[in-house]
Amino acid sequence: MTTAPLTGGPPGAGSDRLVGPDRLVGPDRLVGSDRLVGPDRLVRPDRLVRPDRPGPTLTACALVAGLAGALAVRVGLAGGAGVRSIPAGLVFAGILTAVAIAARPRCPLTAGPPRRQLVVGCTGALVLCAVPLTVHLRQPGGALPLAELPTWAAVVSAVAIAEELLLRGALWEVTAGRWGTGGALVVTTPAFALLHVPLYGWPALPLDLAVGLLLGGLRLAARGWGAPAAAHTLADLAGWWLR
């Protein structure tokens, strides 16, 4: 095999591959029996050399760190307004979405078959609303002022979808690929519950664990994050009246 310099540089420099006899190919093509890859590494003919990517464990840690960072920003921006802060909610949703999209090379983010996601999601929303509806029927609290509904609904929907995109979308995909769907459920359920502690306090943790487990079950049933996103969004929107 000839290893003469190519385009004025040393053999195997950069992302070029020199394969016998003297054929330069792209970085992801398998040609011939020998490959010289930079810097001057001879690899087996059945091995495809690709740029290094972070492993699933590192990606999962990065996603959790992004989730924690987004939560810290939301709490800091909200101040005394807490979960009612519109700007803090929008910034939070934006950060979660950006973190999830950044993980796309390792985490496909397809929501799943639309019809199945909608059917399973609506069913899940009915289950999520059962307890609040029962309480509301016994002790009606009344809806919030109607003039505030459009803005509130937009922010609540954005936050719910962003949470599911990261948790039951990106984080689920990467943990399921490493530890199976059981591992994904174990990781995303407490992550969802702990996410709400700074907003609603520790007394809400058991309820949020149950909700996270249900949303994970919807993810399993629908084989996509669209169903938990639909259920989460519809249940949060129903909260406008179920007070």
167 and 233: one domain? yes
48 and 5: one domain? yes
The sign of the torsion formed by the CA atoms of 119, 121, 126, 130 equals positive
In-domain check, residue 150: yes
92 and 162: one domain? yes
In-domain check, residue 87: yes
The span from the CA of 126 to the CA of 218, in Å, is 12
131 and 207: one domain? yes
Number of domains, the chain? 2
The sign of the torsion formed by the CA atoms of 124, 129, 131, 137 equals negative
- pLDDT tens digits, the chain, 243 residues: what are they? 444 444 444 444 444 444 444 444 444 444 444 444 444 444 444 444 444 567 889 999 999 999 999 999 999 999 999 999 999 999 999 999 999 999 887 777 888 899 999 999 999 999 999 988 877 777 766 666 788 899 999 999 999 999 999 999 999 999 999 999 999 999 999 999 999 999 999 999 999 999 999 999 999 999 999 999 999 999 999 988 886
189 and 211: one domain? yes
> What is the extent of the structural domain holding 21?
1-52
- Which of 52, 79, 95 lies at the terminal end of a domain, its last residue? 52
What lies within 8 Å, CB to CB, of 20 at 6+ separation is: 1, 2, 32, 33, 34
111 and 158: one domain? yes
46 and 162: one domain? no
The span from the CA of 98 to the CA of 175, in Å, is 19
In-domain check, residue 229: yes
Q: Are strands 35-37 and 23-25 parallel, antiparallel or unpaired?
A: unpaired
How many CB atoms sit inside 10 A of residue 76's CB? 10
121 and 44: one domain? no
How many CB atoms sit inside 10 A of residue 226's CB? 26
The sign of the torsion formed by the CA atoms of 233, 101, 215, 69 equals negative
111 and 208: one domain? yes
Q: Looking at residue 35, what is its pLDDT?
A: 45
208 and 163: one domain? yes
In-domain check, residue 110: yes
In-domain check, residue 243: no
78 and 40: one domain? no
47 and 140: one domain? no
The span from the CA of 84 to the CA of 197, in Å, is 15
In-domain check, residue 211: yes
